[in-house]
Structure 1
C-alpha cells in the first residue's frame, strides 16, 4: 500500500484553514499532520515533522510565508495561497510553483493538489522552484523594515532600526544589533540595495554601517581610513567608502 502524503496547513485565518482541511479530507491519499496559525509555529512544525506538502499563506502578520521559507534548510513541496497579489502571482508562474488565489474553488484546489503530487514524484525539483520564488520576492521587497534570522531551531525578527552594522562572512552576513549578533546566509549586495539609504552606508566591501553609529573617522595612512563606532568598534573604510562618507557626512 502506498504511503499517504503528509500535509501541513499554515495560515493565520481560521476560515482559510477550515476550507483547506475540508478539501483535503476528501482525498484518501492525504493525511493532515497539523495546522499552524503563524509562520513561527509553521517553521517549528516543518523542522520537527518533515511534512511532504505544505499549504502556506503568503501574507501573515508576524512572519510572512517567504520569510519563513528563507530560513528552512530543506523546504517541502509548497502550495501557496494569497489574496490578490500581482507580483507574487507572477513569481509563482515564472517558477512553476503551485498557488491558490483566494477565494478559490474546490476544482482549482484539486488542480493545484494534482500538480503538487506530480512534483512529489520528481525529487529535487520543488526546492529549485521555491528558491526562485523566494529570490524574486526578496528583489521586489522594497526597503527593508525587518530581518528574519534563525537561532538554532527558533526564528527571531530583528527590526532594521536595531541593526548597528553588517559584516560580510563568506556566504553569510553577520548582523551586529542591539539584541546581539546574528548570522544569516545572505549577500551584502541585498542589504546594500534594500536597507534605508538615508540610514546606512557601505563603507567597505565587508561593512555596511548605520550612520548614527559613527562617532569619528580617522586617517591611518596614505588613503587608509577607519571609522570608530559608539561602542569603540573600529572598521576599515575603502576608497569608495570614504568618498560616500564624505558626501553623507558633508565634509
Structure 2
C-alpha cells in the first residue's frame, strides 16, 4: 500500500480527494491535517510515500511547511489561482492541481505520483527548485524556523540582523540566535528594501536596529546595533547604508 497524507484546511477539498482515492485500492490515507504545523508532525510520524498539499493555509503555508520537514515524500500540490505558485511548479516540473479540478485531472496527477513512488524517484531536488522559484518571486515578511521539536515563526520586524555561516544563515531575533539553510543572496533580494541593508558579504542588518557606526580601518566600519551586537561594514556596505539613510 502507498501511504498518503492529505494536508488542506478545507474540509470539502479533503473529502473530494478521499472520494477520488476511494476508487484506487493501492493508496491508503493515514492522516488528514488542516495546517502546515500538523502536517509537518504527521509526516514525521507516519513517513508517507505521498502527500496532497494545499498551498494557501493558515498558520503555516504549504511552502513554509516544506522548508522545515526532513522527509520529502512525493507531493501533489493543490492551489486556488496563484500565479507565483503555478510559475514555481512549472519551472520545477512538479505536478499540481489547480482548484477546482476535475476527476480526470486528479487521476492523471495520481497516476504520475504513483509511478514516482513505485520507481523510488527522488523528490528533494524537485522540491528545492519549487522553493527557490517561489522564493525568488516574493517579498519576505516572516521566516519559519525549526528549533528542535518546535516550529517558530519570526516576523522580519523582530529580526536585528543575519549572518552567513557556511551553508547556513544565523538569524538574530530578540536576543536569540537561530540557524536556517538559506543564502544571503536570497535574503538580500527578498527582504524589504526599506528595512534591511546588506552591509558586508557576511551581514545583513535591520536599518532601524543600528545604534551607531564606528570606523574600523581605512575602508571598513563597525556597526553597533541596539541589541549590543557588533557587525562588520565594508566600504560598499557603508555606501549602501548612506543611500538607505539619506546621509
Q: TM-score range by the shorter chain?
A: over 0.9
Kept in 1: contact 2:91–2:133 (CA 8 A): no
Q: Which residue of 2 aligns with 1:51?
A: 48
Q: CA deviation at 1:107?
A: 1.7
Q: Distance in 2 between matches of 1:156 and 1:225?
A: 33
Q: TM-score, normalised by structure 1?
A: 0.94
Among candidates 68, 86, 91, match of residue 89 of structure 1: 86
Question: Partners in 2 of 1:214 and 1:54 — Cα distance?
Answer: 44
Picking from 241, 246, 250, the partner of 2:246 is 250
In structure 2, runs of 5+ residues without a counterpart are: none
The corresponding residue for 1:60 is 57
Q: Deviations over 1:83-138 (max 9, x none)?
A: 12233223323322221111112221111100001111232432222221111111
1:147-162 superposed matches below 5 A: 147-162=143-158
CA displacement 1:20-70 (0-9 Å, x = unmatched): 111112211011100000000001111121000000001112111111112
Aligned length: 247
Counterpart of 2:67? 70
Q: Which runs of 5+ in 1 are unaligned?
A: none
Partners of 1:147 and 1:158 within 8 A in 2: yes
1: distance between equivalents of 2:218 and 2:2? Answer: 65
CA distance in 2, matches of 1:235, 1:76: 40
Question: Over aligned residues, Cα RMSD in angstroms?
Answer: 1.4
CA contact (8 A) 1:44 1:153 kept: no
Which stretch shifts more, 45-54 or 148-157? 148-157
> What corresponds to 1:198 in structure 2?
194
Task: Check conservation: 2:200, 2:232, Cα contact below 8 A.
Answer: yes
What TM-score results when the alignment is normalised by the length of structure 2? Answer: 0.95
The alpha carbon displacement at 1:179 in A equals 6.5
Partner of 2:222: 226
Residue 174 of structure 1 is matched in structure 2 by 170
How far does the alpha carbon of each residue in 1:138-162 deviate from its partner, in whole angstroms, 9 at most, with x for none? 1112x21111111113321111111
Stretch moving more, 32-41 or 100-109: 100-109
